[in-house]
Amino acid sequence: MPQSLRPQGTGAVSPRNALASALLALALLPPAAVEVAAQSVAVSAISSATRFPGGLPIADLSEDEAILHALNRLAFGPRPGDLERVRQMGLERWIRQQLDPESLPDDPVSRRLEPLTTLRMSPAELLERYPSPQAAARRAGLSRDAVQQQAEARQELREELEALRERVEGMGGMPDAETRRRLRELRQGMDGESMGGGPQTIQMELVQAKLIRAIESERQLAEVLTDFWFNHFNVNAAKGSTRWLVTSYERDVIRPNVLGRFRTLVGATARSPAMLFYLDNWLSADPGGAERLEGRSAARARVRVLRGGRPSILGGERRVPDQGRAMRRGLNENYARELLELHTLGVEGGYTQADIVEVARAFTGWTLRAPRQDPGFLFDARLHAPGVKTILGRSIRGGGQAEGDAVLDLLASHPATASFIATKLARRFVADDPPEALVRRMARRFLDTDGDLRAVVEAMVYAPEFWAREVFRAKVKRPFELVASTARALGADVLVAMPLVQWTARMGESLYLCEPPTGYPDLAEGWVGSGALLHRLNFALEIAEGRTRGVRVREPAELRGGADPLDAALARFVGGQVSAGTRKALEERMGSDAGMRPNTIVGLVLGAPEFQRR
């Protein structure tokens, strides 16, 4: 590892210092952690200085705690055997590998993803093969009325299904035979439709792939970061055409850049059809430019698109009129505002409403070619606002398409951006309220390396704050993190991913369907309301007891042996560390129900407060 990465002054920690810092950490702890900490403080204080001779500045945590911490933060939680594996290879080496995902073979996951063919398709192919019902009907030569009738019939089926569902709930979840029969019919009809090539297939394969990767991929940090950066540059698959664009967005825009340069990443999102569509920039135009455009004939515009655009696999004769063109009459601030507020500077970044308008003007002309057939990036000079733009006091002039890039250059190298990105990363990976010193260090690294995201993540992992006792198990798992970490902890075979995806949605995190551009929150209070918690508990019990469809769970062998099954379950799923309260509650309940199955015990441990945190 490069020398410069080693944090100053924390290289070697003497046992005395380690003890002192452990005790200090203990004093600063929230009450929840004190009990746990008290059990382990003696061990960690003695062992840490000798066990971590490399660059990792670990002082408070024992070796096993540090490994669990890393697996919970840089991965989606430990699988059976992971702790031993990392202990054997060395924690720092494991981290180095995770920072270099290409070095890790991942063939089993590639094979699992093989049947999900939409993952490899371009937006144009997806639009061709999985058209909307309306487009499919048009293509089949159906009349407008027939399309309308089909849509109404579908809506009636949907409403009947909803009504039946309510009736079933009124029956206490136990429908009579007739209701069951009709429900089965309806669901088959609906499934048949969605399996039969509707655009839902795209969404289903995406969520399945995300879950499979999170549970099984060796490149865990890359998966965590892909989730993080998608969320940072959020797009919502449910908004109009975005559903055909999200596959490529994650694959081509987010995933290749998560350990690359921030400027490259933000530039890729700015040009991506998904973002251009989701935040409406494809429709933003200089009002004067729109008039210029309308002055020319629609036919000429089409000819230009046909010449300039990549040939569509649909061929020219299938082109429907470009609805965007008629609507493209003036400025739309949506992208400009979120670029400043959410993607780069942050809301405290010191920009004004006038800056937003100027940024929007600079990005006029950044649009889509053939949004419904082959939605690639296109710069249309006729839509571009002429004249100088003044952004954050800097003049940007006369560059056409290059103006947008100049804005991105300015934003990507801005100190406010460095600090905003550092804060968000630290909030996801370290603590809801991350230590200022850590954020400062990461932000400095961001600026020193020209926004090298690998270096920023390294700076975080090589900071003592990352390994501090007070952040150990301090983060509440997001629903997706909970579901993935549960499946990993159980060593479950996930044959069908959808039921787990649905649990994630019930807990409040619908994958790829976050509506606002903020993405989902990384703060505990967003995730542990009473409604969500009940779903977490029911999920734990259902999956542990083997009741989740398509998920095979074996009873952990150690629970059948001679040892106390509760001790065994606690050791396996929460590293043996639970509060006395949790242990007492579990022991009492097991005492009152002597016949409690080992899998139910596992379910209770997975439902425990300790497993809700990472």
Partner 1 sequence: MSISRRVFIKDGAVAVLGFSALPSFLTRAVASTPSPTGSDPRVLVVLFQRGAVDGLNTVVPFRESSYYRLRPSIAIPRPTGRPDAALDLDGFFGLHPSLSPLLPLYRGGDLAVVHATGSPDGTRSHFDAQDYMESGTPGVKSTEDGWLNRHLQTRPGSESPVQGVALGTSLPRILRGAAPAVAVPEGGRFEVRAGDAAADGLEAMYAGTLDEALRGAGRGTFEAIDMLRRAAPGNRAAEHGAAYPRSRLGRSLQQTARIIRANVGLEVAFVDSGGWDHHVNEGGVEGLLANQLRDLGLGLAAFHRDLGDRMGRVTLVTLSEFGRTAAENGNRGTDHGHGNCMLLLGGGIRGGKVYGRWPGLEPEQLYDGRDLGLTTDFRTVLGEVLVRGLGSPDLGDVFPGFGHNPKGWLGLMT
Footprint (CB under 8 A) of partner 1, residues 186-225: 187, 190-191, 193-194, 200, 203-204
Taking residue 94's Cβ as centre, other Cβ atoms within 10 Å add up to 22
Smallest separation (angstroms) from partner 1 to the CB of 272:
17
At 366, list the tokens.
Answer: 């950044």
Distance from C-alpha of 118 to C-alpha of 206, rounded to nearest angstrom: 8
Q: Is 444 in the site for partner 1 (CB under 8 A)?
A: no
CB contact set of 456 (below 8 Å; sequence gap of 6+):
421, 422, 425, 442, 445, 446, 449
Q: How many whole angstroms from its chain centre is CA 588? A: 39
Stretch that binds partner 1, among 10-18, 135-143, 439-447, 591-599 (CB under 8 A): 591-599
Q: Which of 434, 143, 160, 409 is nearest to 263 (CA)?
A: 409
Q: Is 181 in the site for partner 1 (CB under 8 A)?
A: no
Q: Which of 81, 129, 118, 80 is nearest to 210 (CA)?
A: 118
In our burial notation (b when 16+ CB lie closer than 10 A, e otherwise), range 572-595 reads: bbbbebbbeebeeebeeebeeeee
Smallest separation (angstroms) from partner 1 to the CB of 469:
15
Smallest separation (angstroms) from partner 1 to the CB of 33:
8
What DSSP state is assigned to residue 172? T
Minimum CB distance to partner 1 smaller for 97 or for 502: 502
Smallest separation (angstroms) from partner 1 to the CB of 523:
10
Minimum CB distance to partner 1 smaller for 7 or for 324: 324
At 375, list the tokens.
Answer: 């939605």
Distance from C-alpha of 202 to C-alpha of 246, rounded to nearest angstrom: 9
Rounded to 10 degrees, the C-alpha dihedral 344/447/4/100 comes to 40
Q: Is 301 in the site for partner 1 (CB under 8 A)?
A: no
Size of the residue set binding partner 1 (CB under 8 A): 103
Stretch that binds partner 1, among 94-102, 162-170, 210-218, 439-447 (CB under 8 A): 162-170
Site for partner 1 in 102-121 (CB under 8 A): none
At 94, list the tokens.
Answer: 């494991």
Please provide the DSSP assignment of 337-387 as one string: HHIIIIISS-TTS---HHHHHHHHHHTTTEEEESTTT--EEEE-GGGSPPS
Judged by CB under 8 A, the residue of 303, 327, 388, 402 near partner 1 is 327
Minimum CB distance to partner 1 smaller for 96 or for 329: 329
Show the site string, 330-359: x = touches partner 1 by CB under 8 A, - = not: xxxxx--x---x-----x-----x--x---
Q: Is 147 in the site for partner 1 (CB under 8 A)?
A: no
Judged by CB under 8 A, the residue of 7, 309, 576, 609 near partner 1 is 609
For 163, half-sphere exposure in the C-beta direction (CA atoms, 13 angstrom radius) is 7
Stretch that binds partner 1, among 82-90, 312-320, 388-396, 531-539 (CB under 8 A): 531-539
At 121, list the tokens.
Answer: 């398709």
Smallest separation (angstroms) from partner 1 to the CB of 203:
6
CB contact set of 531 (below 8 Å; sequence gap of 6+):
none
Minimum CB distance to partner 1 smaller for 158 or for 318: 158
Judged by CB under 8 A, the residue of 162, 291, 433, 567 near partner 1 is 162
Judged by CB under 8 A, the residue of 381, 534, 552, 563 near partner 1 is 534
Smallest separation (angstroms) from partner 1 to the CB of 162:
5
Q: Is 64 in the site for partner 1 (CB under 8 A)?
A: no
Q: Is 168 in the site for partner 1 (CB under 8 A)?
A: yes
Minimum CB distance to partner 1 smaller for 141 or for 173: 173
Burial class of 546 by CB neighbour count within 10 A (0 to 12, 13 to 18, 19+): middle
Q: Is 150 in the site for partner 1 (CB under 8 A)?
A: no
At 280, list the tokens.
Answer: 């409406």
Q: Is 160 in the site for partner 1 (CB under 8 A)?
A: no
Site for partner 1 in 21-50 (CB under 8 A): 30-32, 34-35
Distance from C-alpha of 70 to C-alpha of 520, rounded to nearest angstrom: 23
Site for partner 1 in 453-512 (CB under 8 A): 476, 496, 498-499, 501-502, 505-508, 510
Q: How many whole angstroms from its chain centre is CA 583? A: 33
Minimum CB distance to partner 1 smaller for 86 or for 484: 484
CA angle 540, 543, 545 (to 5 degrees): 100
CA separation, residue 373 to residues 238, 270, 474, 512 (Å): 18, 20, 47, 22
CA angle 324, 327, 328 (to 5 degrees): 85
Stretch that binds partner 1, among 45-53, 130-138, 442-450, 604-612 (CB under 8 A): 604-612
Minimum CB distance to partner 1 smaller for 329 or for 454: 329
Minimum CB distance to partner 1 smaller for 256 or for 287: 287
Show the site string, 558-577: x = touches partner 1 by CB under 8 A, - = not: --------------------
Minimum CB distance to partner 1 smaller for 19 or for 411: 411
SS3 527: coil
Q: Is 531 in the site for partner 1 (CB under 8 A)?
A: yes
Contact (CB, 8 A) for 598 and 555:
yes
Judged by CB under 8 A, the residue of 10, 17, 150, 538 near partner 1 is 538
Minimum CB distance to partner 1 smaller for 112 or for 325: 325
Smallest separation (angstroms) from partner 1 to the CB of 108:
25
Contact (CB, 8 A) for 121 and 252:
no
Judged by CB under 8 A, the residue of 529, 552, 560, 561 near partner 1 is 529
Q: Long-range CB contacts (< 8 A, 24+ apart) of 134-138?
A: 135/372, 136/197, 138/320
Minimum CB distance to partner 1 smaller for 138 or for 239: 239
Distance from C-alpha of 224 to C-alpha of 475, rounded to nearest angstrom: 14
Q: Is 17 in the site for partner 1 (CB under 8 A)?
A: no
Q: Is 584 in the site for partner 1 (CB under 8 A)?
A: yes
Judged by CB under 8 A, the residue of 172, 315, 387, 562 near partner 1 is 172
Smallest separation (angstroms) from partner 1 to the CB of 383:
10
Judged by CB under 8 A, the residue of 26, 43, 161, 571 near partner 1 is 161
Stretch that binds partner 1, among 128-136, 138-146, 281-289, 296-304 (CB under 8 A): 281-289
